[in-house]
């Protein structure tokens, strides 16, 4: 069974920091990894050209197969913004084998397979 989790649950009231243009964040639609591995799977962005509000680097969100957390600041290439915009890494750490689908803030699906 495929379960969906909304990445928005990683947000909380916390100060924002400057974006790092030296850290381009790539969005993934499919991710394959082993138990224990961590990968950046998405960039959580704010309004175009602005940092996302309420990103807490200490907050985590459990999923069926692992844990989501925020990572370093960077920039994310957004179609709706027409280019690069400040973002925070969304990192998935695999805890057990299986397959699940999670959804991003704009309803983009990411299929995660853990082997």
pLDDT per position as a tens digit, 91-108: 999 999 999 999 987 778
The structural domains of the chain, with segments of one domain joined by +, span: 7-114
19-76 confidence digits (pLDDT tens): 568 899 999 999 999 999 999 999 999 999 999 888 888 889 999 999 999 999 999 9
Q: What is the pTM of this model?
A: 0.80
The pLDDT of residue 12 is above 50 = no
Half-sphere exposure of 38 (CA within 13 A, CB side): 9
Contacts of 15 (CB under 8 A, 6+ apart): none
79-88 confidence digits (pLDDT tens): 899 999 999 9
């Amino acid at each position: 069974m495929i379960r969906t989790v909304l990445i928005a649950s990683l947000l909380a009231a916390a100060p924002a920091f400057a974006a790092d243009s030296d850290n381009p964040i790539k969005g993934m639609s499919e991710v394959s990894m082993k138990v224990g591995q961590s990968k950046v799977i998405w960039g959580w962005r704010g309004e175009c050209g602005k940092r996302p509000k309420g990103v807490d680097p200490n907050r985590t969100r459990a999923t069926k197969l692992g844990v989501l957390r925020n990572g370093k600041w960077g920039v994310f290439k957004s179609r709706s913004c027409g280019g690069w915009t400040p973002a925070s890494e969304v990192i998935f750490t695999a805890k057990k084998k299986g397959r699940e689908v999670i959804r991003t803030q704009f309803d983009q699906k990411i299929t995660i397979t853990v082997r």
